[in-house]
Amino acid sequence: MYIYLAFLAFLFLIAVILVNVSWRLRRRVGSDVCKETISTEPNLGDHTYTSPFSVNNILTLHSLTPLDGGFPIILMNIDFIHSSLSSILLRPLLLLLLCTGTVFGQYHIYWGDVHGHSSLSDGKGSPDDYFTHARDVARLDFAILTDHDFGNGRPQWRMPKENWTLVQDKADEFNATGRFVAIGGYEWTSQAKYWSGFTNGPTERLFPGPPKFYNHKNVYFTNRIGYLFSAKDVAYNNPDTLAEAVRRQGGLIQNNHPFALFNEAGDQWEYVPANSSVIVNTEMGLDVSRHKGRTYELNWEKSLREFLNRGGRTGFVAGSDSHEGRPAARTAVLATELTCEAVFDALRHRRNYAINHARISLDFRINGHFMGEEIESAGKPQIMVDVKGTAPVEEIVIVRDGNVLHALRSQKQNVSFAYVDETFAGPSYYYLRVIQTDTDPHGNRSHAWSSPIWVSRSQSGIQNLH
Ligand SMILES: [Zn+2]
Ligand SMILES: [Zn+2]
């Protein structure tokens, strides 16, 4: 018995030293992770668990407060004492990973808007107004201008080539490395009523075949292209031919507002899985949204979950879709620097997440890998969560394969914990959803949704760290 206690004490001492060393190292290299006070305490009364797992899986065992001078205090509780030896060994290692920010130090969070309009289609203000508002008023790090390519209430209308050239000119003009990234894009606008059918009264029938509504998709590039690939052009009128053309130009595509629009049910997910490497992200939003006093049942997150449940691959972004010339922070990217290429690299690898209002900082990793990655795991996935809110957090949920794997309630603004998925059978996807207590002007609570991480079982038994 005494030997066992002595061994535990020894392990505890090692853990304290490891975390302390990592803390000092991290301070020296100036890594962003864990920079702020982590004050989450193992107050189990605060937590509401809807998963079948015990509190043993929570790692909220350290406190780095100004009072203790940055020296980590590992708060032991009864669960810690009674947990298995392997778990005891695991926890200091998880703490170490979480606090050293092994790789996170190379990434910064940049805030932007991936969806907005100007008077080049059905919005207000010029492209100059749009980018100026984004940079100087909304204080964004990056913004993508995405006017409609055609239609937009007028079946015969399409964006003139000179306007597409202007979009790219303005993006070039506003781009300033390290200060602001402006990206030129457009909204590929597939609408069944103009495109292939007569779903909303007689209008022009553009193409034969059953009416299809592929919904809208934003397309953007780092380099200039001669003209956009329009949904009105028979060569690019479905997601697969569009994706192929955009791939050749090195561009990216995102699915927009994946819910029924204009009463047209969406065929937006109809593309071959391989094209998910080009159609990399999808706009995320609230299932039930309040706007100007009215409530809309959009089933937005539900729609994305169903796509993921079917094996779909997509990261999460969000856009203001402003038609008033007022872009806003809706997408965060984890990028190495503030350049067009670095922002694109983040979006291409789904190293991005969506917010609907407040700028909530998220770090969500599994086995040290970042959101958006597809990884293999030889053992139980080790999930690490670090949330730095702007208001008290109401709820943090880890979603696995469409269901709540773990939920906790906290009134803290900053929350860090690690969680081991004891029932992992793989393959599975995981994402994080955070809800704060504050609201936007319409009364919607602030949300943040990390892009998913896909985890499959390692065949070799050796963890693949690609
Ligand atoms: Zn749209
Ligand atoms: Zn739009």
> Over the stretch 187-216, which tens digit does the pLDDT of each residue have?
998 876 655 544 455 455 566 666 678 889
Retrieve residue 444's tokens. Answer: 């919607």
Provide the pLDDT for residue 431: 98
Provide the pLDDT for residue 195: 54
Q: Model confidence at 35, in pLDDT bands (50, 70, 90)?
A: very low
For the CA of 256, the nearest ligand:
1
**Does 13 or 418 have the greater pLDDT score?**
418
Residue 218 CA to ligand 1 centre (angstroms): 8
Provide the pLDDT for residue 58: 26
The average confidence (pLDDT) of the chain is: 79
Rounded to an integer, the average pLDDT of 379-403 is 96
Provide the pLDDT for residue 262: 61
Rounded to an integer, the average pLDDT of 103-108 is 68
Provide the pLDDT for residue 191: 72
Residue 241 has pLDDT above 80, yes or no: yes
Report yes or no: 416 and 39 within 8 Å, Cβ to Cβ: no
Percent of the chain, pLDDT > 70? 69
Rounded to an integer, the average pLDDT of 119-131 is 96
Residue 248 CA to ligand 2 centre (angstroms): 24
210 φ, ψ (degrees, to nearest 5)? -65, 145
Residue 256 CA to ligand 1 centre (angstroms): 6
Provide the pLDDT for residue 212: 77
> Which residues are registered as beta bridge partners of 113?
143
Distances (CA, A) of 233 to 44, 209, 229, 240, 397: 59, 15, 7, 13, 43
Provide the pLDDT for residue 15: 54
For the CA of 121, the nearest ligand:
2
* Cα gap 283→291, rounded to integer Å: 18
Q: Which residues surround the ion ligand 2 when the cut-off is CB under 5 Å? A: 187, 321
Complete domains list, the chain, with CATH: 2-105+361-457 (2.60.40.10), 108-350 (3.20.20.140)
Provide the pLDDT for residue 208: 64
Distances (CA, A) of 190 to 51, 213, 262: 41, 6, 12
Rounded to an integer, the average pLDDT of 354-373 is 97
Q: Model confidence at 153, in pLDDT bands (50, 70, 90)?
A: low
Retrieve residue 379's tokens. Answer: 């053992």
Strand, coil or helix: 464: coil
Look at phi and psi of residue 251 and say left if phi exceeds 0, alpha if psi is from -120 to 50, else beta.
beta
Percent of the chain, pLDDT > 90? 62
**Does 408 or 207 have the greater pLDDT score?**
408
Residue pLDDT, tens place only, 307-346: 999 999 999 999 999 999 999 999 999 999 999 999 999 9
Residue 271 CA to ligand 2 centre (angstroms): 21
Provide the pLDDT for residue 452: 98
Residue pLDDT, tens place only, 265-290: 678 999 999 999 999 999 999 999 99
Provide the pLDDT for residue 4: 65
Residue 375 has pLDDT above 80, yes or no: yes
Provide the pLDDT for residue 459: 75
**Does 120 or 35 have the greater pLDDT score?**
120
Residue 206 CA to ligand 2 centre (angstroms): 22
Residue 167 CA to ligand 2 centre (angstroms): 15
Residue 257 CA to ligand 1 centre (angstroms): 7
pTM: 0.78
Residue 68 CA to ligand 2 centre (angstroms): 50
Rounded to an integer, the average pLDDT of 336-362 is 97
Name which of 143-157, 217-231, 430-444 the model is least confident about: 143-157
Q: Model confidence at 366, in pLDDT bands (50, 70, 90)?
A: very high
**Top-ranked range on mean pLDDT: pick from 3-12, 233-242, 270-279, 452-461:** 270-279
For residue 322, give every residue at least 6 positions away whose Cβ sits within 8 Å of its Cβ, in sequence order, or none: 113, 115, 116, 117, 123, 328
**Does 20 or 107 have the greater pLDDT score?**
107
Provide the pLDDT for residue 77: 25
Provide the pLDDT for residue 209: 64
